[in-house]
Chain A
Amino acid sequence: MSDVDDKVKPLRDPARRGFLGKAGGLAAAVGGLAASSAANASIAQDQAPAALAAKNGIEPFWGVHQGGITTPQQEHTYFAAFDLVTAKRADVIALLNAWTEAASRLTRGDTAAALGDNPEAAPGDSGDALGLPPSRLTITFGFGPGLFSSNGVDRYGLAARRPAALVDLPRFNGDQLVPEKTGGDLCIQACANDAQVAFHAVRQLARLAYGTAVIKWVQTGFQSNPAGGGTPRNLMGFKDGTNNPSQRDPKLMDQFVWAGDEGPAWMKNGTYTVVRRIRITLEHWDKMEVGFQEQVVGRHKYTGAPLGKHKEFDVADLDAKDADGNSIVPDNAHMRLSAAQTNGGAQILRRGYSYNDGANFYIERWPPWRQEMEYDAGLFFVAHQRDPRTGFIKINHNLAVGDIMNQFITHVGSGIFACPPGARAGSFIGAGLFEGLMT
């Protein structure tokens, strides 16, 4: 069976990519991938099958770690934060079970649940992704502070199990956080190479949460990778992520990203994720001299090289001076203030996306205080780390106080989440948190 077949065959419980929804095992899913790839290749004959398979393929769901953290970055994201509305721990457990099962299906290109054949019942999936490939969908779940206590109330008997590293983020200088883009008791980040697949996934999961959790805020994002490979560019036109620790280096990931034995056992091999919705005043930025832009960032715009260097991955010389004794990389440049060397070796894994949510009326918060219609666009910053206290909080404190880029960016949304380790098939995401509390 192929995707092409789906287009002519009456829908009767079809799997998204053309094999029966009842096929639930990993082996079946892998088999499905091959069939799907072949079908797509026949449709898009001008695309190399291998490349297409890589773009459309399946990312594993079950495993030691959740997907979507060190997974090579897909091109689209759909992030949703939820507030829990139930008073019962059992409801939370049931939701996480349902989410885990549905996510495992969705990531392999299946429907969230079997569609069913009862014409008087709502189908098990909205159906808008039928026929679409898995698109390397990953679904990453996180627990916000509100799962452990909300307004001082320990709703689910979990307060004592809150990891010390899951701190409430402090207020940073310049923060203009709005409640409708901040916080959340739970979060889901779907990443995929197809925006529709990512939204479809979160939509199905949100539907499963009815009565237990409600959406608090969402954010979409995009990040197209250069055709020739390499570091993608953000909306400021600069390469973003050059200084990231390599996701391909397990030792670095263990050192900076994955929680170890220092915290609760249920978080081991998980990570702590900070998200920030950072609006960039693109109109203002676009008028700046490129030389000034480079001084603000601390890098050459087109090569991505640190100022004073020639290649993107040349090591920045933060001690270098010009003939007058002035720093080559300015003291208040973004790259300097965020560099590991400036932060006692602190590193985080940034996995952000650009966003563009149209335009709104804004009053700029720097002279000369323009008041006009401007893009609501910027960076949906996503950073994973072993401990936010020595990661994002430490680094962002420096940036919030001294970064000259603050004249162009404003943090308007925020969230912090403990993303537990991956799940074994038959278990559910975050099961360890509830050990001994399953009733």
Chain B
Amino acid sequence: MLPQLHNKPVKAAARKVMGGALVGALAALSMPAAHADEPKGFLETVHKHVTLVNTVPDNGDQNPYALVVAPVSAGSIQKDDVLIDNFNNAANLQGLGSTIVDYNPTTKALTKFAQLPRDLPECPGGIGLSTAMTMLKTGWVIVGSTPSNDGTTTTKGAGCLIVLDPHGKVASVIGGPNVNDPWGNMAVVDKGDTATLFVSNSGFGVGSPNDKSGPDGEPPVIKESTILRIELAIADGKAPVVTSQTVVAGGFGEQADKGVFLIGPTGLALGKDDKLYVSDALGNRVTEIADASTRTTSGGVGREVTKDGLLQRPLAMVTAPNGHLLVTNGLNGKVVEIDPDSGKQIYAQWIDTDKAQTPPGNGDLFGIVMTPAGDGFYYVEDDVNTLVLAK
């Protein structure tokens, strides 16, 4: 018999509507192949899900996307704070969110870290904060914009990456021909005075969700997305400067979507041996790009690590302490654990079981990030605009 590890006998200390016995069967780990009693992965060590805070700031921005754990204390940010950005504005239009909030796990207080202006020179289309966000050891926060004026890609711009000082003030903007809707979570190598960012760009060639020129009358799938490596130099007290940009992967599908704005490569995570893993949402797979930090040419879509199975539109991705990948599903409330070496999908945990969606948790998950101690992870629930800790 497979171990029945209920992911949330408690979604919080006590039962909430979406968790508990009502959905106990759903909450169990889905294990396609496992041997009883042997720990196979990270997810089975996660027993408790605690809703920490509602992430909506005073201006009403909705739809939390990116999650970053602060590596240092700087400016208004304390080490281990969780930064969360919002993709929607108060009217719930996607691609118009402009705020980053800061959750302090010690005080449990949520404060607004940054409110960006609607328009920034050098950021085509304006501001709609995406899942691309990081904080460097030097205190700089870098966040992506995948902007729209009407909540759809009909009016999207190419966007940019925005560099903020640790007080939330805009310091500089990174844009140009290689940047087009930086969308998914970044993978980052931070050495202090230099840093390497990996950013997925999911906007090249994407048109309106009303474009019905796809084979079945749907918006066409464009295979022009890229993974861009950006090298930064950070002089003491100065904002990061881009020293080089290299497209290290490309050709993943991207598609305009009425409901979820756009679908494209979203999750990036670094593994051992300089491998970069990419969640290819439309391909419903995870691929691997070799020599990520040194390659000078595009590796295309890379080597397929795993496909389908428990994956249901993989989105944000993070590396667990055991080297496994944790990836959130867009089409149900599951997080899937993958051994990237073997390509095996270990199992999935149904972390968002909100039955208001079908299947439960459909469309609710996006950002995911490990806790500083590596004993759990934070994730967002877009259905109720909350930050949740799983450990």
Interface residues of A (CB under 8 A from B): 171, 173-176, 284, 287-289, 291-292, 295-296, 321-322, 324-327, 330-333, 363, 365-371, 401-402, 404, 406-408
Indicate if B62 sits at the interface (CB-CB under 8 A). Answer: yes
Chain A residues contacting B384 (CB-CB under 8 Å) are 332, 404, 406-407
**A404 x B18 contact (CB < 8 A):** yes
Bound-state CA distance A14–B107 (Å) is 71
Chain A residues contacting B17 (CB-CB under 8 Å) are 292, 295-296, 330, 332-333, 404
Indicate if B2 sits at the interface (CB-CB under 8 A). Answer: no
Identify A322's interface contact among B12, B15, B357, CB under 8 A: B15
Bound-state CA distance A288–B17 (Å) is 13
- Contact A288/B259 with A331-B16, A401-B54 known, Cβ cut-off 8 Å: no
Indicate if B385 sits at the interface (CB-CB under 8 A). Answer: yes
Return 11 A-B CB contacts under 8 Å, by A number.
Answer: A173-B385, A292-B17, A325-B14, A332-B384, A365-B62, A366-B383, A368-B259, A368-B260, A368-B363, A370-B259, A402-B54
Distance in angstroms from A360 CB to nearest chain B CB is: 15
Chain A residues contacting B18 (CB-CB under 8 Å) are 332, 404
Chain A residues contacting B90 (CB-CB under 8 Å) are 175-176
**A324 x B20 contact (CB < 8 A):** yes
Instruction: Label chain A's interface by main secondary structure.
Output: loop
Chain B residues contacting A295 (CB-CB under 8 Å) are 17, 22
Chain B residues contacting A367 (CB-CB under 8 Å) are 259, 357, 362-364, 382-383
What residue in chain A is nearest B15 (Cβ atoms)?
A326
**B14 x A327 contact (CB < 8 A):** yes
Indicate if B10 sits at the interface (CB-CB under 8 A). Answer: yes
Chain A residues contacting B258 (CB-CB under 8 Å) are 369, 371
Indicate if B21 sits at the interface (CB-CB under 8 A). Answer: yes
| B residues 355-382 in Cβ contact with A at 8 Å | 355-358, 362-364, 382
- Contact A325/B362 with A404-B17, A406-B384 known, Cβ cut-off 8 Å: no
Chain B residues contacting A333 (CB-CB under 8 Å) are 17
Distance in angstroms from B204 CB to nearest chain A CB is: 24
Indicate if B92 sits at the interface (CB-CB under 8 A). Answer: yes
Chain A residues contacting B62 (CB-CB under 8 Å) are 174, 365
Bound-state CA distance A250–B309 (Å) is 64
Between B19, B20, B91, B363, the greatest number of chain A beta carbons within 10 A of the residue's beta carbon is seen for B20
**B14 x A331 contact (CB < 8 A):** yes
Chain A residues contacting B259 (CB-CB under 8 Å) are 367-371
Bound-state CA distance A295–B355 (Å) is 10
Bound-state CA distance A291–B22 (Å) is 8
Bound-state CA distance A327–B17 (Å) is 10
**B54 x A173 contact (CB < 8 A):** yes
Chain A residues contacting B356 (CB-CB under 8 Å) are 284, 288, 292, 296, 366, 404, 407-408
Chain A residues contacting B54 (CB-CB under 8 Å) are 173, 401-402
Instruction: Assign chain B's interface to a size class.
Output: 35 or more
| B residues 36-65 in Cβ contact with A at 8 Å | 54, 56, 58, 60, 62
- Contact A368/B15 with A171-B60, A292-B22, A402-B54 known, Cβ cut-off 8 Å: no
Bound-state CA distance A366–B382 (Å) is 8
Indicate if B354 sits at the interface (CB-CB under 8 A). Answer: yes
Distance in angstroms from B389 CB to nearest chain A CB is: 15
What residue in chain B is nearest A287 (Cβ atoms)?
B358
Bound-state CA distance A295–B91 (Å) is 28
Chain B residues contacting A370 (CB-CB under 8 Å) are 259
**A368 x B16 contact (CB < 8 A):** no
**B22 x A171 contact (CB < 8 A):** no
Indicate if B9 sits at the interface (CB-CB under 8 A). Answer: yes
Chain B residues contacting A365 (CB-CB under 8 Å) are 62, 92
What residue in chain A is nearest B386 (Cβ atoms)?
A402
Indicate if B151 sits at the interface (CB-CB under 8 A). Answer: yes
**A363 x B382 contact (CB < 8 A):** no
Distance in angstroms from B212 CB to nearest chain A CB is: 15
Bound-state CA distance A332–B14 (Å) is 10
Identify A407's interface contact among B9, B10, B91, B354, CB under 8 A: B354
- Contact A331/B363 with A171-B60, A326-B9, A368-B260 known, Cβ cut-off 8 Å: no
Bound-state CA distance A332–B15 (Å) is 8
- Contact A368/B9 with A404-B18, A407-B354 known, Cβ cut-off 8 Å: no
Bound-state CA distance A213–B18 (Å) is 48
Contacts A322-B21, A365-B92, A404-B16 aside, 17 further interface pairs with beta carbons under 8 A come to: A176-B90, A292-B17, A295-B17, A296-B17, A325-B10, A326-B19, A331-B12, A332-B17, A332-B18, A363-B92, A367-B357, A367-B363, A369-B258, A371-B259, A401-B56, A404-B356, A407-B356
